[in-house]
Structure 1
Amino acid sequence: MTIEFHVEGMSCQHCVAAVTNAIREHDAAAQAQVDLATGRVVVESAQPVDALKAAIEQAGYTVTSVR
């Protein structure tokens, strides 16, 4: 399933890597696309939305919305 998160606190390529790695630690097969300008993170994963949201937040970022 495709999930779109709006994430606050990302400002650089290190942030992109941190969010991507947090998602992939939870689901190694996940595909993640991060757009720093908009704070948008689109994830293709079979994992539950809440688990992916928690992974992003544990990496130190704030998820403000999920679609």
Structure 2
Amino acid sequence: MSQTTETTYRVQGMTCGHCELSVREEVEELGGVESAVADRANGTLIVGGSAPHDEIRRAVKTAGYTLLD
């Protein structure tokens, strides 16, 4: 049985519930993503699964936000 890896990213620019939803929906469309939780208060995105970092970065950018290193 494989384990789901959870990775926490910092996201710049999320200010409301719509922002969280936009980021979550874009990231959840990626192959290998099992879950995504965006939190504007903490400026974080927690992704469960195996999607590559660069794909997550592109999805966050597509949603209109910046993934911080």
Whether the aligned pair in 1 keeps the contact of 2:23 and 2:60 (CA below 8 Å) is yes
Shift of 1:30: 2.3
Number of aligned residue pairs: 65
* TM-score of the two chains, using structure 1 as the length reference: 0.83
CA-atom RMSD in angstroms: 1.5
- Give 1:1-67 correspondences, 5 Å limit: 1-27=5-31, 29-65=33-69
Shift of 1:43: 0.5
Q: Which runs of 5+ in 1 are unaligned?
A: none
CA, structure 1 residues 17+28, in 2 after alignment: closer, same or farther (shift >3 Å)?
Answer: farther
Select between 20-29 and 46-55 the one with higher mean Cα deviation. 20-29
Q: Which runs of 5+ in 2 are unaligned?
A: none
* TM-score of the two chains, using structure 2 as the length reference: 0.81
Moved segments of 4+, more than 3 Å: none
* Identity in percent: 31
| Structure-1 separation of matches of 2:67 and 2:60 | 7
